[in-house]
Structure 1
Amino acid sequence: MKTASVLMAALAACAMSFACGAFAQTVHYPGGKSTFDGKCAVCHQAGGKGMDGLAPPLVEYPGKYAGSPDGRAQLGHTVLYGMFGPIKVKEKSYNFKMPSFASLSDEEIADVLNYVVFDLNAQHGEAKPFDVAEVKAWRAGPLDQTAVHQHREAVVKGLGL
């Protein structure tokens, strides 16, 4: 009887350990996670799961965007300049008003994009990490939030999303 109790406790501990390990997030971009947690998670929620009606999840589309030049630019412009207007992600509607984070450094923006694409997205294909030079190039051609929204429509269509 005592052996069965010990065995059951050991199995439960093992199962809990496995379950916790299965949900643990590997973070390759801790600076990006810190920025995300401090600036983005308020709307996009912890782990980028999104908030119904307000902010879309960031656990799938950014990984798909990051594999194309237009998609990468869309991600960068969205963080730098913000975006507003209705959007759809996986047939869910969001009336999104994302603020500009242009006050962040180029390194912070590259890090947060890398965190979103490589740490939150399991699928990111052959995407390469974002770097400071890429962010500087996006800053050189500023857009307003309406243009960012319109560009998103073209990117989504071009990627078949």
Structure 2
Amino acid sequence: MKRFPIAGMLAGLLCVAACPVARAADNSVVEQRAVTFNHAQTNYMLHCGGCHGTLGLSPPHSVPLLRGQAGWLVCDPQGRAYVDGLPNVTRASLSDADLADVLNFVIFTLGASPGSAHAAPFTAREVSAMRAAPESTVPLHLRRQQAVERIIKVCGAPKSLLDYKPM
């Protein structure tokens, strides 16, 4: 058995006791100011934020911008059906309830717009039904264009929603 000098052990203990990193109380101010996410926001970050951006601001032409725009999609049944049929939405590895919460966060918080003001929130039952329905044979970019053109006409959505053009 190896023996350590008592002086060395005491010096080590004093260093640990005096070291600010080792004391939890030194982090309390930082922890109080730390950003915290609810369950839906955490799931958004894990399942959507990598492509759509943590704030819903994605690089041009990669995926549609969500921030301040996604809410327009639920002002009309065709736009809502577009959201319901997005492959990465229907195939997300989340429960129906968790996916409904993420959709509600995206539509009513992150992407809130006048178009979402009177829309009903997504429910686990609706998510379950959309997952059971077969996917459309219409290419995704055409479904988006049709939905956006309709919500511009029917809901008064801004024409800037047409700015997204996949490369």
**TM range, normalised to the smaller chain?**
0.5 to 0.7
Which structure has more RCO (C-alpha within 8 Å, separation ≥ 6)? 1
1:45 is aligned to 53
Q: Deviations over 1:91-118 (max 9, x none)?
A: xxxxxxxx86343221122111101011
2:117 is aligned to 125
1:138 is aligned to 130
Q: CA deviation at 1:144?
A: 5.5
Contact 2:100 2:122 in 1 (8 A): yes
Larger strand fraction of residues: 1
Question: Aligned in 2, Cα 1:111/1:70: closer, same or farther, shift over 3 Å?
Answer: same
Q: Deviations over 1:38-97 (max 9, x none)?
A: 11111111111112231221013310111222211211211xx14xxxxxxxxxxxxxxx
TM-score (norm 2): 0.60
Q: Deviations over 1:110-155 (max 9, x none)?
A: 1111010111123222111110111122112121585443322221
2:141 is aligned to 149
Out of 40, 45, 53, the residue aligned to residue 32 of structure 1 is: 40
Out of 77, 96, 112, the residue aligned to residue 69 of structure 1 is: 77
Cα separation, 1, equivalents of 2:119 and 2:107: 9
Greater Rg by CA: 2
Contact 1:62 1:75 in 2 (8 A): no
Percent identity of paired positions between Structure 1 and Structure 2: 32
Cα separation, 2, equivalents of 1:110 and 1:145: 24
Cα separation, 1, equivalents of 2:135 and 2:107: 22
Q: Which blocks of at least 5 consecutive residues in structure 1 are unaligned?
A: 1-24, 83-98
Aligned length: 117
SS of the residue 2:100 aligns to: helix
Q: Show the 5 A alignment for 1:89-100.
A: none
Q: Which blocks of at least 5 consecutive residues in structure 2 are unaligned?
A: 1-34, 153-158, 160-167
2:66 is aligned to 58
SS of the residue 2:55 aligns to: helix
2:101 is aligned to 111
